[in-house]
Structure 1
């Protein structure tokens, strides 16, 4: 049976250890939450935690991870952690992160602890225990693979230009990119019309 520790205990553990600053660099999709909807965060088939939305909630989905896990945060926190976050709507849209965390690797056995939103959260050996700078009570877990996929110890530079597009447009672009790769692997560059298609592309550009 997994050991349970209190919110106070996990905060004491985190603040007594050395942590490092990391910066989120992967885009996410997000929408306004429906009041009272329950969002269950699932990582590799295991329930990490769950949360119930209120009228001031946003549902965030990590679109670059294998689990494409979802979680809930407040509209205020979302606006402070994502570019143009104040423009959140009921529709899924893509947002670029500007948030950062202090994080430490968890070397102990698995434990469950009370997350900032009042629900239990599990952390395993090798995962990361994270805290929001200047918010000492916001302590939570990020699974190891998801952490390295979405956070870097190097901040994004101001030269990293970004845009916001809809989920539909994003999915279409990804599908088109994958299909183009498949065509090239199948030898489409040997097709008699390939050079003409490249010329048409240059005209569009």
Structure 2
């Protein structure tokens, strides 16, 4: 498995040359996660990754066809989302803010790292994450992490800027 640092070292130069800027176009639902809560992120093409909530983390639900769930650290959540409306049972509706740089993964990208159909790498939250040709690899403006967003969900939630 390729580490998070190896992924950054390999893809940051590629993203800086050929990446595009994107922002999230759709609202999200979110609430405070329970420490110890295990969240399995599933997209339209199956299981993507798994993470365990720590104190202060937020549980986020994207408004996509798969309603994927994932965890976000409190500090990151505050930077990326603004409350629009409080909902029932601790949930809220949030407007995304900020941007990301993304790159559509090609077969050549995978082959350069020794993979054919699926590349497994370490997600920023230390679990294994997969990426396939056609998916997006994205980095935040801080360029301190890299992760995958499945092709279908990326199209449902992001727009080029």
TM-score bucket (shorter structure): 0.7 to 0.9
CA RMSD of aligned residues (A): 1.9
Structure with the larger helix share: 1
Normalising by structure 2, report the TM-score.
0.85
**Of the two structures, which has the highest relative contact order with CA contacts closer than 8 Å and spacing of 6 or more?**
2
- 1:78: how far off? 0.7
Match of 2:140 among 125, 129, 132: 132
For structure 2, the residue ranges without an aligned partner over 5 or more in a row are 108-116
In structure 1, distance between residues paired with 2:120 and 2:69 = 19
Deviation beyond 2 Å, 4+ runs, structure 1: 87-90
**Which residue does the alignment assign to 2:123?**
115
Q: Is the 8 A contact 2:27 2:93 kept in 1?
A: yes
The structure with the largest alpha-carbon Rg is 1
- Correspondence 1:39 to 2:39: yes
> CA-to-partner distance for each residue in 1:44-88, whole Å, 9 max, x for gaps?
25110011001120000002x111000001111111111139x99
- Correspondence 1:14 to 2:21: no
- 1:34: how far off? 0.3
For structure 1, the residue ranges without an aligned partner over 5 or more in a row are 155-205
**Which residue does the alignment assign to 1:186?**
none
Q: Secondary structure at the match of 2:71?
A: strand
Query: How many residues are treated as equivalent by the alignment?
Result: 148
